[in-house]
Amino acid sequence: MSTPPPPLIQDIAEELRGIGFTDYEAQAYIALLQDSPATAYQVGKQTGLPRANVYAALENLAKKGAAQPVTENPVRYAPVQPSVLFARLVQDLDAQCRRAADKLAHLDRQSSEEHVWTVRGEEAIRAKIEGMIEAATGHVWIKGHEHLLRPHREALHRAAGRGVQVVLILFGDPGAAADYPFGPPSRIFMHEGNGIEVGLGHTLVTIAIDFQEALTANTANGGFGAHTRSLPVVNLAESLIRHEIYVAEIFARFGRQIEAVFGPALLSLRRSYLPPPQAAALSGLLGMRASETSVTKDQTG
């Protein structure tokens, strides 16, 4: 019974197995690096492996380009140096992956693009938003609270700088719009003119890019979202944001008349359609804002 190889040799053999060597091939290659050129008999004696298995392992190493016979009768093998071997293996694997990717690209992608993928966790949601912004070539449309978009300001600036239309519908402090000084064709709107939080406005973010990809996510309770390239769902997200843009433009021109009919933040209208807790929260928020405005007037008056 052979003596187990020392821990370092075991570690190296494990690494070699991880890149496609069999256990016998790994041990034979390591043996050649330690003492070569060597015959199958010498490798078997050094490793304690059966001679028949050593013959097969050495032949396979030669086929893989990891070793080569350097003498005849008896046949002795020498190893290809690791720096040379692994550089070639990396090149071969890269080329193989590219060929596979090219072939797979010709398959019907329709079924995979119909899926809606779950995105869990705030970090994953931020990474997906960042990736979508960086990938956009035509437009980035986002509706969300300004504190949710703050981590993505640099990516949004880069997108605008390369000619992508960036349109933001922001909840939160109206002064946040100044943090995105993009020129045309980009536009920044506070939600309904004032950015007041409605419904899930504090935690919900929706982004759509290039009429091809969309994500909607709620960052509350750890974060949970849905990402898709399914065109019907993307169209739904794009349509939602597009209508928010229409509303923002209308409020910019007719805001006072609209609020005169429906109340601030359309409260009288929203009471009919929002879940009662969200309607109550909006009413309370409007009350706080009115109180703050009154105090400010008293202080300046």
Break the chain into its structural domains and give their ranges: 7-99, 116-243
Whose tokens are 């949004």? That residue is 156
pTM recorded for the entire structure: 0.59
> In this predicted model, what pLDDT tens digit does every residue of 137-146 receive, in sequence order?
999 999 999 9
Domain 116-243 - what CATH class?
alpha beta
Phi-psi region of 206 (alpha: psi -120 to 50; beta: other; left: phi over 0): beta
> In this predicted model, what pLDDT tens digit does every residue of 86-117 receive, in sequence order?
999 999 889 999 898 888 877 655 555 678 89
pLDDT score recorded for residue 108: 57
Q: Report yes or no: 16 and 57 within 8 Å, Cβ to Cβ.
A: no
Looking at 1.25.40.340, 1.10.390.10, 3.30.1330.40, 1.10.10.10, the CATH number of the domain 7-99 comes to 1.10.10.10
User: What confidence category does residue 1 fall into, taking pLDDT thresholds of 50, 70 and 90?
Assistant: very low
CA-to-CA dists, residue 212 to 140, 198, 226, 234, 297, angstroms: 11, 27, 14, 6, 48
CA-to-CA dists, residue 198 to 72, 77, 268, angstroms: 83, 75, 13
CA 191 remoteness from chain centre: 27
Contacts of 262 (CB under 8 A, 6+ apart): 268, 269
Among residues 293, 292, 264, 277, which one has the least CA distance to residue 196? 264
